[in-house]
Amino acid sequence: MRIALGQLNPVVGDLVGNAQKIGQAIDLARGQAADLLVTSELVLIGYPPRDLLLRAGIVEQCQLLLEELSEQAGDLPVLIGHPAAALSGTRPLVNRVSLLHHGEVQAVADKRLLPGYDVFDEDRYFEPGQQPSLLNICGTSLGVLICEDLWRASDVTASPKYPCDPTADMVEAGAEMLVALNASPFFMGKGLQHLAHLKEVAQQYKIPVVAVNQVGANDDLIFDGRSAAIDADGTVRHAMCGWQSAVETISFVEPIDGAATVDCERAHEPMRELFHGLVLGVHDYWSKTGNQDAVIGLSGGIDSALTATLAVAALGPQHVQGVMMPSEYSSEGSLTDALALANNLGMPTPLELPIEKPHRSLQAELTAVIGQVKPLTDENLQARVRGVLLMALANDRNALLLATGNKSELAVGYSTIYGDMCGAVAVLGDVLKTVVYELSKWINQHYEELGFNGQPIPEQSITKPPSAELRPNQKDQDSLPPYEVLDQIITGHVDLELTAQEIAQHADLDQDLVEQYVQAIDRAQYKRDQAAVILKVTGRAFGRGRPMPIVMKSTLGIRRPATSH
């Protein structure tokens, strides 16, 4: 049997447009002499559809399009993911895979395991399927699984306890091959985890496994694709390239083409996949919202330099307008490094909008009412002047503003709401400051393969001490511990949910310092709830996947309660 892997990039809610992409995949699969085309989970509506699923007419329109696609498919069997009406239970829908063949639409499988952790809320909309579903294609009994039915939260630390194992049930029912339709969001390292899981399943049950994953980015979620086919002995027969749409047909009886199989170790290098993930996240946010141009404030620092580099890779240099906004405290390097960056990237010459005059004017108005302005208030006032000017420029140019703050700053509130937090997308909002440096250096080392003419990020932006330049001789480390220390605290508290006591012990840090910044992370939640969309690239990102209360006691989690006997 020749199986076509349809790794597609749907737009959430664009049923007609997505159906056209599926139709193109059908034509490609037929041209490749495929016996079966497999697409991804909910590909007809796009993932994640969220409350679009509750809109009237969704199911009916899906059914009409499925029937049209089935006519186009003809004698080529096609597996397609879509929402369908639930016939019983308490929720309105099921997450279904149907077979399109000879003008008919046949329900094959309803998703059984419905994740409700992290960014997932499928148990809000869907009724779980009940039975394993087998499908006979070309004399082979296929067990059809839908995403979590295969993974069973194998990639999360605190995995839920599911009442059944759909994979085992499929094999017990007689499946000779497993086919999984997925919409599994990317984070660093997840691709290797999934590949290892596929190998384990194939080896355990001694049957081949095919997994097709959605590609593209929707809102905060990035989908890397990297669909794969695994032989019964756990050998990777075929691994598709990530970050792009494609239809590729494989056969389990032909010799493995090593040249056509991706070098998995290289493709999964952390900085390489982080770069491609962030670039895809920016590209699809702009393209899927109908935008072309971006505006970004250039400070000469590392965060804005890296953000601009990623934006240029995603949108093209002509579509990224930099803006320099020096204050009376800005160093000469803030301008020269920003100009060097723009020149390296081939961007238009940055605009220069000094903020000293509007800052002084607002400062005088405040002083007339409240007396002397406090230093922190004055720093935030400057940041908000910049935010107003950047938003105005974006508005005037029909562009979107890029926020440049990183995860370390957003974690502890070292950012100004309505100031440097302004923007449509916080590209680095899930990237710790230490990783910002690592990624910047990696880009400079690999600039040729990434399509840059030279090293894009000025060395001075990487080596100089980070500073907001909102008061004389200001440095980040005047207000924060070294980022190497701070990032350990953030990782322990946010990613691992450790207590301050545990973080201090594991990282050999002063517990009072850890407690101070654990509480700072909790207090800054009100800012993060109003932040730009954060592209998720780690297992525990700020945003939808970490819905923390704003009004809470920030001393919670300092120590674990003693166990009673």
> Do strands 78-85 and 93-101 pair parallel, antiparallel, or not at all (unpaired)?
antiparallel
Q: What is the number of alpha carbons within 13 Å of residue 38 lying toward its C-beta?
A: 31
Question: Is residue 41 among the annotated active site residues?
Answer: yes
- Tokens 């590949």, residue? 195
Question: Is residue 536 among the annotated active site residues?
Answer: no
**3-class SS shares of the chain: helix, strand, coil, % to 5:** 40, 15, 40
Any residues with CB less than 8 A from the CB of 25 and at least 6 apart, and which?
4, 6, 8, 37, 39, 247
Distance CA 174, CA 360 (A): 76
Q: Are 398 and 293 in contact (CB under 8 A)?
A: yes
**Which position among 41, 273, 379, 502 bears the catalytic label?**
41
413: number of Cβ within 10 Å: 17
Question: Is residue 111 among the annotated active site residues?
Answer: yes
**Which position among 62, 122, 127, 147 bears the catalytic label?**
147
Q: Are 147 and 122 in contact (CB under 8 A)?
A: no
Alpha-carbon dihedral 324, 330, 335, 336, rounded to 10 degrees: -170
Angle value at C-alpha 95, between 91 and 98, nearest 5 degrees: 135
The CA-atom distances, in angstroms, between 331 and each of 1, 72, 353, 381 are 66, 63, 15, 19
Q: Are 407 and 457 in contact (CB under 8 A)?
A: no
254 three-class SS: coil
Q: State CA 52 to chain mean position distance.
A: 20
Q: Are 530 and 523 in contact (CB under 8 A)?
A: no
165-193 as b/e, with b when 16 or more CB fall inside 10 Å? ebbebbbeeebbbbbbbbbbbbbbebbbb
Distance CA 116, CA 118 (A): 7
Distance CA 391, CA 387 (A): 6
Residues serving a catalytic function are 41, 111, 147
